[in-house]
Amino acid sequence: MVNRVLGIETSCDDTGVAIYDDERGLLAHALYSQIETHQEYGGVVPELAARDHIRKIVPLVDAVLNKAGCTQESINGVAYTCGPGLAGALLAGSAVAKGLAFAWRVPAVGVHHMEGHMLAPMLEDKAPEFPFVALLVSGGHTLLAEVKGIGQYKILGQTLDDAVGEAFDKTAKILGLGYPGGPAIAKVAEQGKPGRFEFPRPMVDRPGMDFSYSGLKTSALNTVAKNELDSQTISDIAHAFQEAAVDTLTIKCRRALKHTGAKRLVVAGGVGANKRLRTSLKTMTQTEQCELFFPRIEFCTDNGAMIAYAGAKRLHQANPEHAFQVKPRWSLEDLPPV
Ligand code: KG4
Ligand code: ZN
């Protein structure tokens, strides 16, 4: 049977809705970003995020059904982000997804947000084959995993403190740049003078594939305290921070490829949109004679398409009960294989 799944993503500050069809691929997707809602607070306010999702999900569902030119009767499953993420935001998406599934008499399946990110490159024309090494870099996660198939994940390393996206966001705040910090740092770093500041590459002198990013934020803080913050200095600090963050990720990815013997690297999650990271990993994988896969830029950050795709692959595992539970903390290694 062909699966045509409506996917709903609400784990943080983006409401994403999409329809994926096993035979025809992605039929439509739509996104509402809450950036403006949270900007004045300098970060995501969980309660405001949950309320905004409630307002936006149903209009977005109507919009994607229209865009895809399909009726609700043709949908045979609803997928929603079940975790990890902000509890209130997850509850908003889960409740709507379960309600729609009940009304449409189709199964509803809870999707792991990071599995969604990891499978996002499967939506591209050049999709990776298994096995591969995955680098997942977002606002809440930084991890390397060995992936042998859907649901066959072995975590090789992860952050011991801040996620790399979180480090971008915190450093941007220190520099007085806007939220979200990643794109803001990347933009001003283009004008940065290489070599004026040099930040440490955390954990690279130790064996293993774990990461640590809280020290980089401290380096930025110390540098700010010692210098006048004119626009050139802000660019120079942003540049030094980005170089250190990207270098560390590249070094650990090379280690993971060598450790597993895998010939493919898949990069996903919001920080995967970073151009400097993309070029650095391209150079490294060319040297190592490995293939590199990314989702398109708009599917690096949170979106409904990745949830619809993962949901289509896991629809047969849907829980037939109408009750639901969200999982704000949830390890990728706890997922069943497909
Ligand atoms: O995957 P995502 O949209 O949401 C989470 O699951 O967390 O990732 C958001 C994170 C934020 O920390 C944001 O600053 C970062 O991804 N980000 C970037 C870029 N675009 C988004 N970081 C660096 N460079 C970018 N271009
Ligand atoms: Zn995400």
Q: Does the beta carbon of 295 lie inside 6 Å of ligand 1?
A: no
Residues 71 and 142: their CA atoms lie apart, in Å, by 39
pLDDT of residue 234: 98
Give the rounded distance of the alpha carbon of 179 from its chain centre.
16
**What pLDDT is recorded for position 14?**
96
- Nearest ligand, measured from the Cα of 116: 2
Ligand 1, atom 14: closest residue by C-alpha: 182
264, containing H or E segment: strand 264-268
- Asked if 186 and 242 touch (Cβ cutoff 8 Å), the reply is yes
Q: How far is ligand 1, taken at its centre, from the CA of residue 3, in Å?
A: 30
Sign, CA dihedral 112-117-121-123, equals positive
Q: What is the CA radius of gyration of the chain?
A: 20
Cα–Cα distance, 82 to 170 (Å, whole number)? 26
Report the SS3 class of residue 102. helix
DSSP class of residue 211 equals: B
Q: Is the CB of 116 under 6 A from ligand 1?
A: no
The response to whether residue 34 sits with its C-beta less than 6 Å from ligand 1 reads no
301 lines ligand 1 (CB under 6 A): yes
Query: Is there an atom of ligand 1 within 6 Å of 110 CB?
Result: no
Kindly give the number of the ligand 1 atom that is closest to the alpha carbon of 140. 7
Q: Find the 249 Cα to ligand 1 centroid distance in Å.
A: 15
Task: Work out which ligand 1 atom sits closest to the CA atom of 114.
Answer: 6
Ligand 1 touching residue 12 (CB < 6 A): yes
The domains found in the chain, sorted by start residue, are 4-119+299-334 (3.30.420.40), 130-294 (3.30.420.40)
Nearest to 67 by CA among 42, 118, 31: 31
How many A from CA of 197 to the centre of ligand 2?
A: 30
Whole-angstrom distance, CA of residue 59 vs CA of residue 37? 18
* C-alpha–C-alpha distance, residues 146 and 157, integer Å: 10
Instruction: Indicate the top mutation candidate among 271, 278, 302 to test ligand 1's pocket, ranked by most ligand atoms within 8 A of CB.
Output: 271
Among 14, 138, 169, name the best residue to mutate to test ligand 1's pocket (greatest count of ligand atoms within 8 A of Cβ).
138
pLDDT of residue 319: 86
pLDDT at 322: 83
Pairing of strands 132-137, 152-158: unpaired
- 304 alpha carbon to ligand 1 midpoint, in Å? 16
Query: Is the distance from CB of 17 to CB of 7 less than 8 angstroms?
Result: yes
- pLDDT, block means (10 residues), the chain with 338 residues: 95 97 97 93 94 98 98 97 97 98 97 98 97 97 97 97 96 93 97 96 90 93 96 98 98 98 97 98 98 97 98 94 90 95
| Ligand 1 lined by 271 (C-beta under 6 Å) | yes
Length of the chain: 338
Q: Which ligand is nearest to the CA of 141?
A: 1
Ligand 1 within 6 A of CB of 76:
no
